[in-house]
Amino acid sequence: MASYSQKTYAQRGKEHAHPLVKELFAIMERKQSNLSLAADVSTKAELLALADTVGPYICVLKTHIDVVSDFDADLVERLQELAAKHDFLIFEDRKFADIGNTVKLQYGGGIYRIADWAHITNCHVIPGEGIIQGLAEVGKPKGRGLLLLAEMSSAGMLATGAYTDKNVEMAIANDFVIGFIGSRRFTEERDLITMTPGVGLHASGDALGQQYRTPTKIITENGSDIIIVGRGIYGPGKDTAAEAQRYREAGWTAYLNRLGPK
């Protein structure tokens, strides 16, 4: 059987059992985009403006909702409107890491009510499989999907070897899990997507341990599915829309090169 990395996103969407992943692949194909924006800005106005500017070029908007200083329920409504307007999914990068019972409360409730609006969220499996079960109890009835942090992009990160392998085992065994955060394709047992942060064409890293790799490395060579880009797209002196287009093109070209000649 051909590796999932050798199939088109369209084909994988057709064959996939999870409605959310089907929708994601369909968006990617429609927009010819495997780009996710890491929208790490600290006010509601900035987040909405950024999502509106970059929206046409992305398949997924990744948020850290707890860095928005003036968060309110209206922000979530407006983000959902932008998701509908520009045809993207929302991924709240919450990195849950507690016991099942606690993450249930954190995912479904509190101020943010993440499960009500984020199509995708993620967790560390450090507490064991109960974290996935707790999150699934809240998210599954709503049609949501979960990514496991099988690896991280930062220097000296500890998610390696047996720990990464355990992530893969747990993902295969739990149908609420739709994939991973990591740098490569992890398994052929089922079609679990990989989304990769730490992607940049502009720099090799930052002062706090972030490490950047190119779309070619991540998509063409490593078989990951989606690149996550933040500061490469926005920031002082940057033409945000132009940078988003540049990354969209780089990601899509890397994907076409992976598929090879028709």
Exactly one of 13, 100, 139, 197 binds ligand BMP (CB under 6 A); that residue is 197
Label residue 159 left, alpha or beta by phi (over 0 means left) and psi (-120 to 50 means alpha): beta
Ligand-binding annotation for 80, yes or no, is: no
Catalytic residue among 98, 166, 175, 217: 98
Spot the catalytic one: 7, 22, 44, 95.
Answer: 95
Q: Closest separation between CB of residue 228 and ligand BMP, Å?
A: 5
Residue 229 binds to ligand BMP (criterion: CB under 6 A): yes
Nearer to ligand BMP, 223 or 232 (CB): 232
Stretch that binds ligand BMP, among 12-20, 76-84, 228-236, 237-245 (CB under 6 A): 228-236
Is 202 one of the binding residues for ligand BMP (CB under 6 A)?
no
> Of 22 and 44, which CB lies nearer to ligand BMP in the complex structure?
44
Q: Give 13 or 215: the residue with its C-beta nearer to ligand BMP.
A: 215
Using the structure block, give the residue that is written with the tokens 């985009």: 33
What does each C-alpha distance from 188 to 19, 20, 79, 91, 222 come to in angstroms?
Answer: 20, 19, 34, 24, 13
Instruction: Determine if 120 is a binding residue for ligand BMP (CB under 6 A).
Output: no
- 259: tokens are 């598929």
> Which range of residues in 3-11, 23-31, 167-175, 223-231 is near ligand BMP by CB under 6 A?
223-231
Q: Which is nearer to ligand BMP, 13 or 230 (CB)?
A: 230
Q: Which residues of 169-182 are buried (b: 16+ CB within 10 A; e: fewer)?
A: ebbeebebbbbbbb
| Phi, psi dihedral angles at 103 (to 5 degrees) | -65, -30
Residue 259 Cβ vs ligand BMP, minimum distance, rounded to whole Å: 25
Q: How crowded is residue 84: how many other Cβ atoms within 10 Å of its Cβ?
A: 9
Nearer of residues 93 and 225 to ligand BMP, judged by Cβ: 93
Dist CA 262 CA 183 (whole Å): 26
**What is the Cα 175 distance to its own chain's centre?**
17
Beta strand spans in 117-192 (E): 120-123, 145-149, 177-181
What is the size of the binding site for ligand BMP (CB under 6 A)? 16
Our answer to whether residue 93 is catalytic in this structure is yes
Is 156 assigned a ligand-binding role in the annotation? no
Residue 153 contacts ligand BMP per CB under 6 A: yes
Read off the tokens for 64: 């850290």
Q: Is 210 in the site for ligand BMP (CB under 6 A)?
A: yes
- Which string of b and e fits 1-27 if b means at least 16 CB within 10 Å? eeebbebebeebbeebebebbebbbbb
The annotation places the binding site at 40, 62, 153, 210, 230-231
Residues forming the active site: 93, 95, 98
